[in-house]
């Protein structure tokens, strides 16, 4: 009887635990398990990866390649090669373009602004081809530029094979796409397009609807792209700005459209709730002068380069600064010569390290310098 009573109690407790509002149900509601091939969450200013699951696994890139096409187009605008009103002419390369299109024909003219609208809002493959050919002369050279830019951004597990991304040989990772989106977050010229849900081209003849519904439902959204295919599943790269901080969530290979949006929302919520960006400071007590032996000056002032922001948990109240400088250096000292380094810690965790350099040059003291110093001292006596 005691055994049966114990089993009955266990059953009652288990039933209570699974009731709505119980600890188990609340936990499950807060952190639903959503199947995805990979995901990554990054802080946009620093590119710090906050959370990831299979974030470095190589997966098919698909239409996400258009994000790199958009980035290179934005850089054409920044360099002054284009304006939004620059008119580009579609070449024969658009003929027979498959998938999502805005029905461009060879010889048709369209402004850069409208082509970007077609690329970002309408996911148009032919718009990507026209922008690529105009930027680099032909799409083959543009793809080389895409891969070179990816390397610059640290996207070591990404390979592009077309500006529109409709080939089976391109690949990327969730973390790499996050790095690309961190760069896109800085391109203010693209923000109006990323935040547009529905628009038109050619008057109202061509309707465009953004698959990324965050552009319509989330006022904090800053872009970037949602796409899907039978081979790659349902994916999204989403960014948001809240309380002066920007986060990027990349979700790849979900089984349906709702799953990708739900997981992206969850990741962004965790990012803003769990981390903050702080700006480290080096006060004068750390940057003290370093003695110089054999120089025309007895000491040289130490200075640090620009200090980047650091991502820390919101519970972190103070960073520990450790300065490593020598007691002296031997002349000559070059301006900008590394003297030591400063390190910033959260507890025992090293967050960031930066060089500390000489603020001025200090030449070697020769005979005439020594004679001059002696003469000055004698005159002051």
CA angle 255, 261, 266 (to 5 degrees): 115
- Could you give the CA distance from residue 118 to residue 324 in angstroms, rounded to a whole number? 53
How many whole angstroms separate alpha carbon 178 and alpha carbon 238? Answer: 9
CA pair distance 213, 195, nearest whole angstrom: 9
Write out the two tokens for 140. Answer: 């083959």
The edge-to-edge listing of strands for the beta sheet with 338-346 is 302-304, 349-358, 338-346, 320-324
Tokens representing residue 187 in the block: 């391109």
**Facing residues of 343 across strands?**
322, 353
225 labelled binding-site residue: yes
Strands annotated E in 263-326: 275-278, 290-293, 299-300, 302-304, 310-313, 320-324
- Cα 268 to Cα 96: distance, rounded to the nearest angstrom: 39
Are 272 and 247 in contact, with CB atoms under 8 Å apart? yes
Binding residues: 225
Binding residues for substrate: 225
């Amino acid at each position: 009887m005691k055994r049966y009573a114990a089993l009955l109690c266990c059953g009652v407790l288990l039933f209570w635990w699974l009731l709505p509002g119980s600890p188990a149900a609340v936990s499950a509601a807060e952190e639903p398990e959503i199947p995805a091939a990979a995901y990554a969450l990054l802080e946009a200013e620093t590119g710090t990866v906050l959370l990831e699951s299979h974030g470095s696994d190589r997966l098919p890139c698909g239409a996400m390649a258009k994000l790199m096409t958009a980035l290179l187009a934005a850089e054409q605008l920044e360099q002054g090669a284009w304006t939004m009103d620059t008119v580009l002419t579609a070449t024969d390369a658009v003929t027979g373009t498959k998938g999502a299109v805005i029905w461009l024909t060879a010889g048709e003219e369209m402004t850069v602004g409208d082509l970007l609208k077609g690329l970002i809002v309408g996911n148009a493959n032919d718009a990507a081809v026209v922008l690529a050919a105009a930027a680099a002369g032909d799409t083959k050279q543009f793809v080389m530029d895409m891969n070179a830019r990816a390397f610059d951004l640290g996207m070591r597990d990404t390979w592009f094979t077309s500006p529109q991304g409709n080939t089976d040989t391109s690949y990327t990772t969730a973390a790499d796409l996050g790095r690309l989106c961190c760069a896109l977050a800085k391109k203010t010229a693209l923000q109006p397009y990323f935040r547009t849900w529905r628009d038109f081209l050619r008057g109202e003849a061509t309707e465009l609807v953004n698959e990324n519904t965050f552009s319509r439902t989330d006022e904090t959204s800053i872009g970037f792209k949602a796409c899907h295919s039978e081979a790659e599943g349902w994916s999204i790269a989403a960014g948001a700005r809240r309380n002066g901080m920007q986060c990027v969530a990349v979700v790849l290979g979900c089984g349906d459209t709702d799953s990708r949006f739900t997981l992206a929302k969850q990741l962004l919520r965790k990012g803003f709730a769990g981390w903050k960006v702080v700006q480290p400071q080096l006060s004068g007590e750390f940057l003290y002068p370093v003695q110089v032996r054999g120089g025309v000056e007895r000491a040289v002032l130490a200075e640090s380069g620009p200090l980047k922001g650091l991502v820390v948990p919101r519970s972190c109240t103070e960073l520990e600064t450790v300065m490593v400088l020598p007691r002296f250096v031997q002349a000559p000292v070059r301006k900008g010569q590394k003297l030591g380094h400063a390190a910033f810690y959260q507890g025992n965790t090293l967050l960031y390290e930066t060089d500390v350099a000489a603020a001025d040059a200090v030449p070697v003291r020769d005979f005439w310098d020594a004679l001059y110093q002696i003469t000055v001292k004698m005159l002051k006596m």
